[in-house]
C-alpha cells in the first residue's frame, strides 16, 4: 500500500500551493525579519533597542497594549454573562435575540468611528443635547472620547468585537456536559461557586480562542485610530513608516514586534491549555439542559441584551444619519437633509472608481480563494499527502496574521523591481491591483478552506470511488460529482470572502497609494481628511453602501449554512 497518493495532478496542486505560499506569505515575512534583525550583514537587536529608547514608540506601544487589554477585559465582562444566559435559559424570542447580537459585525470599527465621533465628540450630538436640556454648561462639554480619543477607540472596539468573543464562549458553554453541572449541584455547588469551579475551567479553550482574536484585532486595528486622529499607537506608526520603508528600519522593527507578539500569544495559549485536560465523556446538549426562564428573567435578559444591542448600533445609526445630512453644524441632528450624497458617490469620478475598484478586487480575491480553498480542502480530505498537517496550518495561518503585517511586508518586498514589467504590475506605488487581490485572498483564505473542508468531510467518498471505477479522471470526478455536492458550502464561503474583502481596512490603506486605485475604505479615509464640509456625509454614504453589502452577504451565507455560520468565526 502506498504511503502517499502522489500522482501528476496532486503534485501539480502541491507545487502551485508551494509557489503561492512561498511568494506571498514566506517571502514578505522573511524580508520583514531580515529588515528587523540584520544590520550590515549581521544579526543584531539594534533596531529594537532604538525602538524601546524612543519616547514616541514607547508611548505608542503602551497605548496599543492598553487598548487591547481594556478591549479584551470589557468584552469578557460583557460576553460571559451574556453567553451564560443564552445557553442556560430557554425563553421566547431567543433565536431572534441571538441573531441581533451578531448585528454589530456588519460594520468595521473604521466606519463606525465616523458615527461615534459625531455622537460623542466635545460638541457632538450627545453634548449638544445635554446643553439644550441645561444639564451641562455650553463652555464645559464632557470629553466622552477621553484622552484624545483613547476611550472612544476602546468603546468602539468593544461594541464591534464582542460578537466574536460571544461566538467562542457560547460555543464552549454549549459543549459542556450537563451531567457535570448536575453532579456539582448534587454536591452542594450553586451560583458563583458552580460557575467558578465547573463552567469556567471547561470553557477556557473557547474563551482563550476568542480573547486572543479580540486582543490581536484591537492591538493591530489601524482604521479607528486614524479616524479619531489618535496617532500614538503601533498601527498608525507602521502606517506612517510605509513612506520610509527603504530608509527607516523602525517600521520593520514595529511590524516584527507585532508579528512576534501575535505568534507568542498563540503559542503561550496553546502551551497553557495543553497542560490541562478539558475533555468530557459526552458533549453537551443544551437544548435538553436549558431551564425555562421565568417572565421576570425573560424581561431582564431582553432588557440588558437589547440595551447592549442598541448601544452597539448607535455608531451605525449615526453613520446613516450623517449620510443623509446636507448641513450639520453645532446641532443635535442635521438642520438640512438630502439623499443626494448617494447619487454623488456613484457619479463622482473618484468615489465611483473606489466602488468599482472594491468590487473588482473583492471579486477576483473571492475567486482566487475559491480555487485555493477547493484545492487545499480536496488535498486534505481526499488525498494522503506529505506534510498534510503543515498545509492545514498554512491555510489557517492568516487567522493569526494581522493585515498590517502582511501589507507592510508586501510594500517592502515588492517595491522597486529592476524588471520594468514587475515594477509596473507588482509595485504598489505604481499599480497595487494584483497585490491587493492577493492580500485580500490570503487574509480571507481560512473562511473558504473551513467551509470547503466541512463540505468534503460530510460528503461520502462512495460516489467518487464509483466515478473512478467507471474510468473518470480525478479532475472530472471533482467537477462532476464532488463540487456539486458541496456547492452550498462553497457559495457561502465565497460570499463571505467577497464581502469581508470589500471592507478590508489595513491592506487598502497601506497598499493603495494612488487615487485611481483606492478601494472604498481608503476613499473613506481620504474623504474624512478633507476640509470640505460635505466630505463626512459622502464618506458615511460609502460606509452605508459597504454595510448594506456586508449585511446582505451575511444573511445569504447564514441562510445557506444555518447554524454552521458561527463556525467560520471561531478560532
Tell me how far apart the alpha carbons of residues 75 and 176 are, in angstroms, rounded to a whole number.
21
In a domain, 64, yes or no: yes
Give, in order, the Cα–Cα distances in Å from 299 to each of 76, 284, 294, 303, 307: 23, 26, 9, 6, 12
Tell me how far apart the alpha carbons of residues 451 and 366 are, in angstroms, rounded to a whole number.
13
In a domain, 9, yes or no: no
pLDDT at 182: 61
* Same domain assignment for residues 151 and 194: yes
* Same domain assignment for residues 323 and 357: no
Structure confidence at residue 284 as a pLDDT band (50, 70, 90): very low
Domain count, the chain: 2
54: left (phi over 0), alpha (psi -120 to 50) or beta: beta
* Same domain assignment for residues 284 and 346: no
* Same domain assignment for residues 246 and 378: no
**Comparing C-alpha atoms, which of 61, 151, 143 is closest to residue 113?**
151
Interval 263-267 mean pLDDT:
80
Radius of gyration of the chain (CA): 25
What are 452-480's pLDDT values in tens digits?
887 787 777 787 778 778 777 777 877 78
pLDDT at 285 over 60: no
* Same domain assignment for residues 496 and 527: yes
In a domain, 253, yes or no: yes
What are 496-535's pLDDT values in tens digits?
788 778 888 888 899 998 889 999 989 998 888 887 778 8
In a domain, 50, yes or no: no
pLDDT at 281 over 60: no
* Same domain assignment for residues 136 and 240: yes
Structure confidence at residue 571 as a pLDDT band (50, 70, 90): very low
Does 144 or 565 have the greater pLDDT score? 144
What are 157-182's pLDDT values in tens digits?
999 888 888 888 887 777 666 666 66
pLDDT at 65: 94
Q: Which of 334, 359, 383 represents a domain boundary (last residue)?
A: 334
pLDDT at 211 over 70: yes
What are 10-61's pLDDT values in tens digits?
788 888 888 999 999 889 989 888 888 988 888 888 888 888 898 999 999 9
Give Cβ neighbours of residue 314 (< 8 Å, ≥ 6 apart). 115, 116, 119
DSSP string computed for 538-563 = HHHHHHHHHHHHHHHHHHHHHHHHGG
Q: Which of 293, 318, 334 represents a domain boundary (last residue)?
A: 334
**Can you give the pTM of this predicted structure?**
0.84
CATH of residue 246's domain is 1.10.3720.10
Q: Which domain covers residue 549, as residue numbers?
A: 339-571
* Same domain assignment for residues 243 and 354: no
In a domain, 373, yes or no: yes
What are 81-140's pLDDT values in tens digits?
888 888 888 888 887 887 788 777 766 677 888 888 888 888 888 899 998 888 888 888
In a domain, 525, yes or no: yes
pLDDT at 383 over 60: yes
> What cell numbers appear for 124 in the block?
457632538
In a domain, 213, yes or no: yes
* Same domain assignment for residues 284 and 404: no
* Same domain assignment for residues 301 and 403: no
Tell me how far apart the alpha carbons of residues 434 and 227 are, in angstroms, rounded to a whole number.
27
pLDDT at 72: 94
* Same domain assignment for residues 343 and 330: no
Query: Of all residues in the chain, what percent carry a pLDDT higher than 90?
Result: 13
> What cell numbers appear for 229 in the block?
486622529
Q: Which of 316, 334, 352 represents a domain boundary (last residue)?
A: 334
pLDDT at 180: 64
Top mean-pLDDT range of 166-180, 292-306, 414-428, 451-465: 292-306
* Same domain assignment for residues 291 and 344: no
Interval 183-194 mean pLDDT:
62
In a domain, 53, yes or no: no
- Intra-chain end-to-end CA distance of the chain, in Å: 36
* Same domain assignment for residues 313 and 428: no
Interval 264-292 mean pLDDT:
61
Does 485 or 68 have the greater pLDDT score? 68
Point out the least confidently predicted range of 10-14, 273-277, 370-374, 411-415.
273-277
Tell me how far apart the alpha carbons of residues 459 and 220 are, in angstroms, rounded to a whole number.
38
**Comparing C-alpha atoms, which of 23, 4, 20, 1 is closest to residue 376?**
20
Would you say 168 and 208 are in contact if contact means Cβ atoms under 8 Å apart? Answer: no
pLDDT at 565 over 60: no
Query: Of all residues in the chain, what percent carry a pLDDT higher than 70?
Result: 87
> What cell numbers appear for 441 in the block?
485572498
Structure confidence at residue 560 as a pLDDT band (50, 70, 90): low
pLDDT at 361 over 90: yes
Amino acid at each position: 500500500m502506498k504511503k502517499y497518493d502522489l500522482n501528476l495532478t496532486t503534485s501539480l496542486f502541491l507545487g502551485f500551493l508551494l509557489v503561492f505560499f512561498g511568494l506571498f506569505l514566506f517571502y514578505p515575512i522573511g524580508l520583514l525579519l531580515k529588515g528587523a534583525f540584520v544590520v550590515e550583514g549581521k544579526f543584531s537587536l539594534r533596531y529594537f533597542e532604538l525602538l524601546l529608547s524612543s519616547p514616541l514608540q514607547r508611548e505608542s506601544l503602551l497605548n496599543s497594549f492598553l487598548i487591547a487589554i481594556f478591549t479584551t477585559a470589557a468584552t469578557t465582562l460583557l460576553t460571559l454573562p451574556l453567553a451564560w444566559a443564552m445557553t442556560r435559559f430557554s425563553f421566547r424570542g431567543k433565536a431572534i435575540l441571538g441573531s441581533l447580537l451578531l448585528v454589530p459585525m456588519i460594520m468595521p470599527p473604521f466606519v463606525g468611528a465616523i458615527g461615534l465621533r459625531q455622537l460623542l465628540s466635545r460638541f457632538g450630538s450627545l453634548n449638544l443635547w445635554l446643553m439644550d436640556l441645561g444639564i451641562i454648561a455650553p463652555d464645559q462639554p464632557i470629553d466622552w472620547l477621553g484622552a484624545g480619543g483613547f476611550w472612544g477607540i476602546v468603546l468602539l472596539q468593544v461594541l464591534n468585537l464582542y460578537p466574536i468573543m460571544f461566538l467562542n464562549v457560547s460555543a464552549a458553554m454549549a459543549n459542556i456536559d450537563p451531567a457535570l453541572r448536575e453532579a456539582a449541584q448534587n454536591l452542594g455547588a450553586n451560583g458563583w461557586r458552580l460557575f467558578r469551579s465547573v463552567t469556567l475551567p471547561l470553557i477556557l479553550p473557547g474563551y482563550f480562542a476568542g480573547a486572543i482574536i479580540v486582543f490581536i484585532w484591537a492591538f493591530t486595528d489601524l482604521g479607528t485610530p486614524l479616524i479619531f486622529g489618535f496617532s500614538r499607537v503601533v498601527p498608525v506608526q507602521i502606517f506612517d513608516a510605509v513612506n520610509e520603508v527603504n530608509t527607516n528600519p523602525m517600521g520593520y522593527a514595529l511590524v516584527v514586534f507585532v508579528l512576534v507578539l501575535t505568534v507568542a500569544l498563540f503559542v503561550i495559549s496553546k502551551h497553557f491549555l495543553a497542560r490541562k485536560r478539558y475533555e468530557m465523556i459526552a458533549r453537551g446538549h443544551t437544548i435538553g439542559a436549558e431551564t425555562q426562564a421565568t417572565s421576570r428573567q425573560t424581561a431582564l435578559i431582553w432588557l440588558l441584551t437589547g440595551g447592549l444591542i442598541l448601544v452597539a448600533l448607535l455608531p451605525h445609526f449615526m453613520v446613516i444619519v450623517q449620510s443623509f445630512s446636507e448641513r450639520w453644524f453645532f446641532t443635535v441632528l442635521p438642520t438640512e437633509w438630502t439623499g443626494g450624497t448617494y447619487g454623488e458617490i456613484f457619479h463622482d469620478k473618484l468615489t465611483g472608481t473606489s466602488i468599482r475598484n472594491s468590487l473588482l478586487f473583492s471579486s477576483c480575491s473571492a475567486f482566487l480563494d475559491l480555487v485555493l480553498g477547493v484545492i487545499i480542502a480536496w488535498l486534505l480530505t481526499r488525498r494522503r499527502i506529505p506534510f498534510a498537517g503543515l498545509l492545514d496550518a498554512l491555510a489557517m495561518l492568516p487567522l493569526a496574521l494581522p493585515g498590517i503585517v502582511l501589507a507592510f511586508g508586501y510594500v517592502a518586498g515588492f517595491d522597486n523591481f529592476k524588471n520594468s514589467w514587475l515594477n509596473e504590475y507588482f509595485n504598489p506605488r505604481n499599480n497595487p491591483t494584483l497585490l491587493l487581490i492577493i492580500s485580500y485572498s490570503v487574509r480571507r483564505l481560512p473562511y473558504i478552506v473551513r467551509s470547503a473542508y466541512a463540505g468534503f468531510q460530510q460528503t461520502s467518498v462512495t460516489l467518487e470511488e464509483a466515478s473512478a471505477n467507471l474510468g473518470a479522471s480525478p479532475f472530472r470526478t471533482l467537477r462532476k460529482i464532488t463540487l456539486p455536492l458541496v456547492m452550498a458550502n462553497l457559495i457561502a464561503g465565497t460570499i463571505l470572502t467577497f464581502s469581508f474583502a470589500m471592507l478590508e481596512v489595513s491592506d487598502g490603506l497601506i497598499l493603495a497609494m494612488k487615487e485611481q486605485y483606492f478601494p472604498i475604505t481608503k476613499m473613506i479615509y481620504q474623504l474624512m481628511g478633507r476640509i470640505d464640509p460635505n466630505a463626512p456625509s459622502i464618506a458615511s454614504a460609502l460606509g452605508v453602501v459597504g454595510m448594506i453589502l456586508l449585511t446582505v452577504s451575511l444573511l445569504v451565507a447564514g441562510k445557506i449554512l444555518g447554524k454552521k455560520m458561527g463556525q467560520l468565526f471561531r478560532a
